[in-house]
Amino acid sequence: MKRSLVYILKCTDKSYYVGCTTNLGNRLDEHKNKKFTGYTSNRLPVELVYSQEFNHINDAIKAEIQIKKWSRKKKEALISGDYGLLHKLSECRNDTHYKRFDSAQRDENTSTSLSKTEKININRHSERSRGRELL
């Protein structure tokens, strides 16, 4: 089993480059010596600021793809090891997300357009659901 790594480089322009490799030392030399033209070749020097080891290259590739989609703040939380902030930045910020509203607010929001009969049926359903959760 060949070890694989995902890594983050900080470029001279303060941007981040995320990649994965099976040999970090060689890959860093390739970046520094401009072996490949691309993102880092125009932003040298680069500094290794984060790496994480995986047992399989496919896992490192998945992590690379995921991290590349992250915001700068989220990458910096990972780099600094601030997993509390990383978790917070990972939360959904969509106003319709269920964590953003407690059940009373959700009931108020839906009840305004419902008839009295519909409200009663929703309350009965909620009571039945709560009863099942307790069993």
- Over the stretch 111-123, which tens digit does the pLDDT of each residue have? 444 555 554 545 4
Asked whether 31 and 9 are in contact (CB, 8 A), the reply is yes
Q: Which CA distances in Å does 19 have to 4, 66, 75, 123, 131? A: 11, 11, 13, 52, 50
Q: By percentage, how much of the chain surpasses pLDDT 90?
A: 62
Can you list the pairs that 12-20 forms with residues at least 24 positions away whose Cβ atoms lie under 8 Å? 12/43, 12/44, 12/45, 12/46, 13/43, 15/43, 16/49, 16/72, 16/75, 17/43, 17/46, 18/64, 18/67, 18/68, 18/75, 19/64, 20/57, 20/60, 20/61, 20/63, 20/64
Q: pTM for the complete prediction?
A: 0.69
Tell me which of 3.90.226.10, 3.40.190.10, 3.40.50.1000, 3.40.1440.10 is the CATH number of domain 4-90: 3.40.1440.10
- One-letter amino acid for residue 8 of the chain: I
- Over the stretch 58-87, which tens digit does the pLDDT of each residue have? 999 999 999 999 999 999 999 999 999 999
